């Protein structure tokens, strides 16, 4: 199993912070944000990792991550997404050669979690597996609609719905077999002019090869000012910092 960290985009929602550097290099307490998803992969035994980035600050990753050895990475590669507004699936397509027909674990670069998915990685064989989390604001995410006849099965995933069909969000943590790239090529740009990872997941659902699990532990994407602050507070407390 190889790992892919998607750390592209322009992060305009975090201007003016991201005028200076890539969002995924902003601090979460005492570490750059991207250290957290890398640690999630390494903790699961995934130590061959590709970082997909984009935008004017892409070169900053090399000076921060270097060759990845300090983080437990045995092999680190970088890929550049020329269109930072192309979407998550467009960025993931750059990992096709790196995957080399094998399975991959994909995580978004702004996801901070203490969940351990080592067993999920070890037992993964084919198809796809996504990780869900109950959240108070599911309409910010892809949201699963569960099958009424079989609530353990996802009928479809709806991207940023006006009215959420469940309280679950699809976290930015996915596991795919090598069919993922075939599905990405079949995707058409959404109303946002992006290739949506939700469309890729729905291909797996239609094929009957999608599985899911509820992510155990803390999880938060740090893509807004509010969640960036919340993540900083959580991880600072984890390190023993007392808040007034």
Q: Does 244 reside within a domain? A: no
Residues 138, 25, 181, 199, Cα dihedral to 10° = 20
Task: Please give the C-alpha separations between residue 227 and each of 96, 193, 219, 240, in angstroms, as whole numbers.
Answer: 31, 25, 11, 20
200, part of any domain: yes
At 171, is the secondary structure helix, strand, or coil? strand
Domain CATH for 134? 3.90.550.10
- Residue among 38, 97, 40, 31 at smallest CA distance from 69: 38
Domain assignment present for residue 92? The answer is yes
Lowest mean pLDDT among 151-155, 220-224, 225-229, 240-244: 240-244
**pTM of this prediction?**
0.95
Whether 128 contacts 121, CB under 8 Å: no
Q: Flag whether 243 is in a domain.
A: no
Q: What is the pLDDT of residues 114-163, one digit of tens each?
A: 999 999 999 999 999 999 999 999 999 999 999 999 989 999 999 999 99
Range of the domain at 157: 2-238
Half-sphere exposure at residue 34, Cβ-oriented, CA atoms within 13 angstroms? 26
Q: Is 130 contained in some domain? A: yes
Query: Is residue 231 in some structural domain?
Result: yes
In-domain check, residue 144: yes
Q: Strand pairing partners for 53?
A: 7, 80
Asked if residue 213 belongs to a domain, the reply is: yes
Q: How far apart are CA 143 and CA 167, in angstroms?
A: 8
What's the number of domains the chain is made of?
1
């Amino acid at each position: 199993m190889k790992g892919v960290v998607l750390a592209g985009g322009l992060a305009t929602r975090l201007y003016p912070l991201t005028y200076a550097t890539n969002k995924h290099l902003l601090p979460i307490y005492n570490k750059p944000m991207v250290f957290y998803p890398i640690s999630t992969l390494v903790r699961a035994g995934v130590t061959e990792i590709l970082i997909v980035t984009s935008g004017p600050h892409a070169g900053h990753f090399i000076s921060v991550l270097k060759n990845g050895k300090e983080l437990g990475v045995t092999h680190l590669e970088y890929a550049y997404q020329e269109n930072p507004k192309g979407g998550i699936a467009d960025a993931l397509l750059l990992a096709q050669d790196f995957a080399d027909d094998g399975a991959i674990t994909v995580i978004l670069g702004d996801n901070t979690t203490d969940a351990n998915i080592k067993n999920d990685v070890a037992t993964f064989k084919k198809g796809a597996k996504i990780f869900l989390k109950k959240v108070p604001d599911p309409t910010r995410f892809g949201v699963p609609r569960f099958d009424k006849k079989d609530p353990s099965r996802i009928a479809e995933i709806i991207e940023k719905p006006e009215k959420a069909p469940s309280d679950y969000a699809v976290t930015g943590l996915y596991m795919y077999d090598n069919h993922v790239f075939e599905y990405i090529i079949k995707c058409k740009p959404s109303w946002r002019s992006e290739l949506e990872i939700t469309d890729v997941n729905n291909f797996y659902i239609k094929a009957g090869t999608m599985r899911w699990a509820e992510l155990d532990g803390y999880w938060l994407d740090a893509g807004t000012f509010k969640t960036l602050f919340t993540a900083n507070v959580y991880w600072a407390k984890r390190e023993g910092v007392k808040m007034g």
